[in-house]
Structure 1
């Protein structure tokens, strides 16, 4: 499996992007707006991977999107990650055979600031959890991958998870073909360490 991207949710997109830039020394690039009231900014994490900073779309006043818990989010949080399988539908089928349901596959799209329409498919679970340590699956099809758009770059040093039942989490990760170092803790969480011009940065 290939890491596609990390999802860092912020309650205020402009403020969240400014804070991230101040902490890292790297200015995220505007990605675009999504149907449903969200927008994002992006930073590359090497070939084929990126970090998505997502929040309510500031150009849609009053938007209260439910995606990634944004409707009730009060502080920035690393909420999810995505992997890119060779065959999305077959990976979903195999995961269900191994006891984990990644959710149904849904088509989504957004338009970049320069007008390019990006279209992709991803799995979506009806899950109220604030943090999703099992990755969702994504397939960009024929759409240019966001990491190929000349993004400013950081380095992902590590990605780990904690969970009240590490064994159960490892089984679910294995079902979708993913692997993480997992430690035991009361609440599920993701932890990414980034190498930045301003030194190491930990996102949780």
Structure 2
């Protein structure tokens, strides 16, 4: 199986129907994802599952209780035909230094911007992440995240399905490998259609999601 990259913060499983995807994950794994919170103004909400250590799975989709945002919802959830692992995030020790280092190596991961959401228990989480048009459109190159002084999502007692492997493929891997190297990530990239998939250990045995 492919090694799990160092500093993996979370995987993003985006879906056009959050309730249906959470139900499917529960049915296949025997583990029910926990409500994460609402992204106010962006029209999305999420559910979370611990993957081991300080890594987790984010299942994100439209929030039917929010008005439609002015712009597109994050991760193209409005145009997805089905749930799909669309990207991933790493948490470098120093976000700003990691961005500067990547730019010096020829890859711009995007501007750093603040975000926040409130957990169901009322705790406000604040973080910073890279976001912008300069990020690679395949989703195979991770965005960078820094939780600052906020409690990490895995500190809230999430249900867990330990991550066994993360697999990534692209038609021209050699075009993307230098970008991964610019971020000091060891994701193994093989030839194939553009895609991310991961396998988790569950009470019902290993289960893979694409």
Q: TM-score w.r.t. structure 2 length?
A: 0.92
- Aligned residue in 2 for 1:194: 200
Distance 1:102 1:131 in 2: 13
1:1-204 maps to which residues of 2 (within 5 A)? 1-35=6-40, 36-60=42-66, 62=68, 65-126=72-133, 131-185=138-192, 187-204=193-210
Q: Shift in Å at residue 127 of structure 1?
A: 6.4
Q: Gapped runs of 5+ residues in structure 1?
A: none
Aligned residues: 203
**CA deviations over 1:78-98 (Å, ceiling 9, x no partner):** 001100001100100110111
Separation (CA, whole Å) in 1 of partners of 2:123 and 2:75: 24
Shift of 1:137: 0.2
Calculate the aligned-residue CA RMSD, in Å: 1.7
Which segment drifts farther, 128-137 or 24-33? Answer: 128-137
Question: Post-superposition shift, 1:52?
Answer: 0.4
Q: CA deviation at 1:125?
A: 2.5
Alpha-carbon shift at residue 202 of structure 1 (Å): 1.1
Moved over 3 A (4+): 61-65, 127-131
